[in-house]
């Protein structure tokens, strides 16, 4: 095990491994108001103040997730930030009790391309629920997240599409930097800093290396306590996505957490850990569960298949949860065929535990010093099974 680098401790984050001696993969720890978060870490997504189909207690005890993600855009529309604030914040409102990261709401707004108009002040758009006009600018994004009392809030950013022109992406980068400055000022005027909560900047730049590094450098100058790689997995290939992560992590400080937003598959997560990323979120495990898909170290299983009709072996005896070990593939297939919601619940718990556990294993091997060897073997095994 590598010795701790006490000179790399910054408020809220400590890096436990010497990356110069251990490749680019890092093991660290986030110290947040609602708890400690070991990194690398996978964050289950709770869009509507719930991780679909499962109890918060089971996210703590079965999935063993140290942190979850909430969605600013959806929670602001319904039930409204005032309701969540009066409940004590998102963690208390949903009876989670642990740390929460909230996105800025920007990605959802930018996915509503037919319903919005962007200026330097912010975005004017129409609600996908009732069509009413809403304005979201840096101050508004910060105010909503302050009301949600998230442990980590995100700056409002402009997320360009994968095929946008260089001119369009450069405009998005410039506006993202402008908004980051405004978000930071609004955050300093909010209750966030006094409660030791964190505001992270988001790097954009699309498929252009120069723009990625320009965005990262501008945000580093603003000295955020953490940084995210945004605008990946928006239509580009896996190779292009990994290239964008590589470009960005090369510029970001070594002593602050790096969060790749909205990704990815198990093999992508391990590859990005190898590039120096620390935090991830994705709806994939829970969405796949609702469609009868289970992740295992030997690849994915489509439990709708006939071949599982009389397969009474455990879903995945190598994943350490009752959802993985106590129910047979035959039983789960029956639930899926009968359209019983319990199938989605069991598979969601299993898939989320699988993803969270994978990051736990990665952390152990980073600390041990054999991450690259272990990761390469794990990926080979997964891809041969898939």
The answer to whether residues 26 and 278 touch, using CB atoms and an 8 Å cutoff, is yes
Is 316 among the catalytic positions? no
Six token digits for residue 212: 């990625």
The answer to whether residues 216 and 246 touch, using CB atoms and an 8 Å cutoff, is no
Which stretches of 205-308 are DSSP H helices?
A: 209-222, 238-251, 266-273, 284-290
Please provide the distance, in angstroms rounded to a whole number, between the alpha carbons at the two ends of the chain.
33
Task: Tell me the CA distances in angstroms from 179 to 194, 202, 317, one per residue in order.
Answer: 22, 10, 47
Residue 378 CA to residue 116 CA, distance in Å, equals 43
Task: Give the sign of the dihedral formed by CA 128, CA 132, CA 138, CA 139.
Answer: negative
Q: Which of 146, 151, 164, 281 is catalytic?
A: 281
The answer to whether residues 343 and 315 touch, using CB atoms and an 8 Å cutoff, is no
Q: Scanning the structure block, which residue is given the tokens 């980051």?
A: 180
DSSP state of 22: S
Q: Which of 58, 103, 146, 316 is catalytic?
A: 103
Residue 128's Cβ-side half-sphere holds a number of Cα atoms within 13 Å equal to 12
Got the DSSP string for 271-294?
A: HHHTTT--EEE-SHHHHHHHTTEE
**242 exposed, middle or buried (CB, 10 Å; 0-12, 13-18, 19+)?**
buried
Is 58 among the catalytic positions? no
The answer to whether residues 166 and 207 touch, using CB atoms and an 8 Å cutoff, is no
Which residues form the catalytic set?
103, 281
């Amino acid at each position: 095990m590598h010795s701790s680098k006490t000179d790399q401790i910054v408020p809220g984050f400590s890096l436990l491994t010497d990356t110069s001696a251990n490749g680019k993969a890092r093991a660290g720890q986030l110290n947040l108001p609602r708890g400690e978060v070991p990194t690398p870490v996978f964050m289950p997504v709770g869009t509507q103040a719930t991780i679909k189909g499962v109890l918060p207690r089971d996210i703590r005890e079965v999935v063993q997730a140290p942190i979850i993600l909430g969605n600013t855009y959806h929670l602001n529309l319904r039930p409204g930030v005032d309701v969540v604030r009066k409940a004590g914040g998102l963690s208390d409102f949903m009876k989670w009790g642990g740390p929460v990261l909230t996105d800025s709401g920007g990605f959802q707004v930018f996915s509503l391309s037919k319903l919005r108009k962007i200026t330097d002040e912010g975005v004017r758009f129409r609600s996908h629920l009732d069509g009413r006009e809403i304005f979201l600018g840096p101050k508004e994004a910060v105010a909503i997240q302050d009301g949600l009392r998230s442990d980590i809030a995100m700056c409002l950013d402009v997320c360009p599409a994968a095929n946008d022109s260089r001119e369009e992406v450069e405009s998005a980068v410039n506006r993202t930097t402008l908004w980051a400055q405004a978000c930071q000022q609004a955050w300093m005027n909010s209750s966030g800093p006094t409660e030791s909560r964190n505001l992270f900047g988001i790097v954009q730049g699309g498929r252009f290396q120069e723009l990625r590094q320009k965005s990262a450098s501008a945000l580093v100058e603003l000295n955020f306590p953490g940084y995210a790689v945004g605008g990946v997995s928006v239509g580009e290939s896996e190779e292009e996505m990994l290239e964008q992560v590589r470009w960005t992590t090369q510029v970001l400080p070594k002593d602050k957490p790096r969060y790749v937003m909205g990704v990815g598959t198990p093999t992508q997560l391990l590859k990005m850990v190898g590039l120096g990323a620390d935090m991830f979120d994705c709806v994939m495990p829970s969405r796949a569960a609702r469609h009868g898909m289970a992740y295992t170290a030997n690849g994915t299983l489509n439990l709708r298949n006939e071949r599982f009709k009389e397969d009474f072996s455990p879903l995945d005896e190598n994943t350490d949860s009752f959802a993985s070990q106590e129910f047979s593939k035959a039983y789960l297939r029956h639930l899926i065929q009968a359209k019983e919601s319990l199938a989605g619940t069991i598979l969601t718990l299993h898939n989320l535990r699988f993803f969270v556990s994978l990051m736990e294993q990665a952390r152990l091997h980073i600390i041990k010093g054999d991450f690259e060897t272990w990761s390469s073997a794990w990926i080979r095994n997964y891809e041969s099974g898939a």
